[in-house]
Amino acid sequence: MVYVHWIVILIYTVVVLGTLVSVLTDNRQPAKTMAWVLVLLFLPVIGIIFYFFFGRNTRKKRIISQQSLDRLSKRSMLEFVEQKNLVLPKQHISLINLFTNQNWALPFKDNHVDIYRDGYSFFPTLLSAIGKARHHIHLDTYIIEDDPIGRLVCDALIDKTREGVQVRIIYDDVGCWHVNSSFFERLREEGIEVHAFMPVKFPAFTGKINYRNHRKICVIDGHTGFIGGFNIALRYVKGKAHQPWRDTHFRISGGAVYGLQRAFLVDWYFVDRTLITDRAFYPPLNVEENNCIAQVVTGSPVSPWPDIMQGYVRILLEAKQYVYMETPYFLPTEPVLFAMRTAALTGVDVRLLVPLHNDSKFVEWASRSYVLQMVEAGVKVYFYKAGFNHSKLLVCDDSLSTCGSTNIDFRSFENNFEANIFFYDPSLALRVKQLFYDDLKESIPLNRVSNLRRRPFLQHLWESLVRLLSPLL
């Protein structure tokens, strides 16, 4: 028995030393490296488990070969080259180049956008678009529930499949943990191609659980696209926990749909290992010509760089007049925190709108210290009180706006597979700005939130302790 004891200790020591070498050779920020070294050294066993789930650097991994990615990008590249009279805005050319060079997010013009701010208007529009499909429907969502809304959407998809329309669905395995497998088997039996993204078969023993596909994309016939914050579930219509649900979703027709299509087909290759490059999925677009330019930008833990986060940092540091942001979860990474402080301190009108009451108490507690830190730098913080605000949007200087699945938190910027669309169009920026102003009418400034600044010491200490877990929330 003594020998077994020493063998176990030896094996554990080798594992810890190997993990320490891995942490050191990742060449992360020194503070993050030191934090993981301390966790591994002073939290026996627990430290190893934490690192396995949350600490491994996945940005060196490739889930798709460069050759396959090139083939999947070929069609969107051809459509990009064939654009006529494309004039890129000079004030945003550096941001456009950043996304193009790092993400192959090509800028497309001739876009027309409808905005939806609640489920009562969004889901009828989505169902109507599904009903008009003639060739294919591609749906990429984090959650699709077996509830009245989920069944209504799936029944519509089944009807189209019976008409000969190709239907492909990607759902996140963790996001749909509570959905019975029979719900998806019914779709498969009807001829719909359905895949779970990165299935987690043994949650207690796999690091996959930390890396989820949080995107919300739908492409219909290659000429109509949807992107934003809505998943497919009843709570996105009726709300949750006695709170109305506020969200933002875009319906797009025009060149940007090619970018949405590419994003979906890259995900599809990952889950199905099928390269779909047929021209039929990139049909000619019959839309009125305009210079509403858009880029569809994807972020993931396996991309070389945190693309969407870098975009947010660039926007904040280049802003001249204002940056208005909405996010349901505010747990910013250090670069975003730095950029917000810097922008505010240089005189830019930086405003942040978050829910007064979150759907996660831990997130609510952890975000308070960040929020108060922002106020000290001059950021104007507002709390939305008319329900739960799930919107993920940003507007800057009456010229740039973005919407998508990305929250301003560690998980979205570093761990999740996300997708946002960035528009360079003054008229659309003004529409998004009006959305923000409308939400402000249903909000209160931080200084009017009772007891937020004068919290008991133990509550303040608890919030600081929870903040340490921010990367895990």
Rounded CA separation 343/213 (Å) = 31
Contact 172, 271 (CB under 8 A): no
CA distances from 371 to 329, 353, 390 (A): 11, 10, 17
- 214 catalytic residue (yes or no): yes
Q: Scan for tokens 């979860």, then name that residue.
A: 329
- 74 catalytic residue (yes or no): no
Whole-number pLDDT of residue 83: 76
Task: Collapse the DSSP code of 209 into the 3-class scheme (helix H, G, I; strand E, B; otherwise coil) and give the result.
Answer: helix
Using alpha carbons only, what angle is made at residue 170 by residues 166 and 172, rounded to the nearest 5 degrees? 165
Q: Strand pairing partners for 419? A: 298
Radius of gyration of the chain (CA): 23
Rounded CA separation 367/404 (Å) = 21
Task: Collapse the DSSP code of 182 into the 3-class scheme (helix H, G, I; strand E, B; otherwise coil) and give the result.
Answer: helix
Burial class, 296, CB count within 10 angstroms (exposed 0-12 / middle 13-18 / buried 19+)? buried
Whole-number pLDDT of residue 20: 64
Task: Collapse the DSSP code of 408 into the 3-class scheme (helix H, G, I; strand E, B; otherwise coil) and give the result.
Answer: strand
Residue 12: φ, ψ to 5°: -60, -40
- 249 catalytic residue (yes or no): no
Whole-number pLDDT of residue 368: 78
For residue 124 the two structure tokens come to 């009828």
For residue 49 the two structure tokens come to 């488990």
Within 13 Å, how many C-alpha atoms sit on residue 308's CB side? 33
Active-site choice (92, 138, 390, 433): 390
Kind and range of the H or E element at 228?
strand 224-228
- 221 catalytic residue (yes or no): yes
Rounded CA separation 104/226 (Å) = 20
Whole-number pLDDT of residue 25: 66
Burial class, 244, CB count within 10 angstroms (exposed 0-12 / middle 13-18 / buried 19+)? middle
For residue 384 the two structure tokens come to 């939305």
Q: Positive or negative, the Cα torsion across 253, 255, 261, 263?
A: negative
Please list, in sequence order, all residues whose beta carbon lies within 8 angstroms of the beta carbon of residue 266, skipping any fewer than 6 positions away: 64, 69, 72, 298
Whole-number pLDDT of residue 204: 47
Please list, in sequence order, all residues whose beta carbon lies within 8 angstroms of the beta carbon of residue 240, skipping any fewer than 6 positions away: 359, 388
For residue 266 the two structure tokens come to 């890259």
Contact 105, 297 (CB under 8 A): yes
Rounded CA separation 294/254 (Å) = 10
Whole-number pLDDT of residue 157: 98
Contact 347, 323 (CB under 8 A): no
Q: 408-409 and 330-331 as β-strands: parallel, antiparallel, unpaired?
A: parallel
Using alpha carbons only, what angle is made at residue 302 by residues 301 and 306, rounded to the nearest 5 degrees? 55
- 216 catalytic residue (yes or no): yes
CA distances from 442 to 356, 388, 403 (A): 11, 11, 20
Q: Scan for tokens 């176990």, then name that residue.
A: 8
Q: Which residues of 160-191 are buried (b: 16+ CB within 10 A; e: fewer)?
A: bbeeebbbbbbbbbbbbeebeeebbebbeebe
Active-site choice (92, 195, 223, 392): 392
Active-site choice (173, 221, 247, 267): 221
pLDDT, tens digit, 9 for 90 and up, residues 61-105:
555 555 556 565 666 666 666 678 889 999 999 999 999 998 889
- 425 catalytic residue (yes or no): no
What is the full DSSP assignment across 261-294? HHHHHHHHHHHH------GGGSPPP-------EE
Which residue positions in the chain have pLDDT lower than 50? 204-205, 462, 472-473
Rounded CA separation 470/340 (Å) = 18
Rounded CA separation 161/243 (Å) = 36
pLDDT, tens digit, 9 for 90 and up, residues 211-253:
789 999 999 999 999 999 999 999 999 998 788 999 999 999 9
Active-site choice (140, 172, 397, 425): 397
Rounded CA separation 123/143 (Å) = 14
Active-site choice (160, 195, 216, 433): 216
pLDDT, tens digit, 9 for 90 and up, residues 242-295:
889 999 999 999 999 999 999 999 999 999 989 898 899 999 988 888 999 999
Active-site choice (138, 160, 214, 433): 214
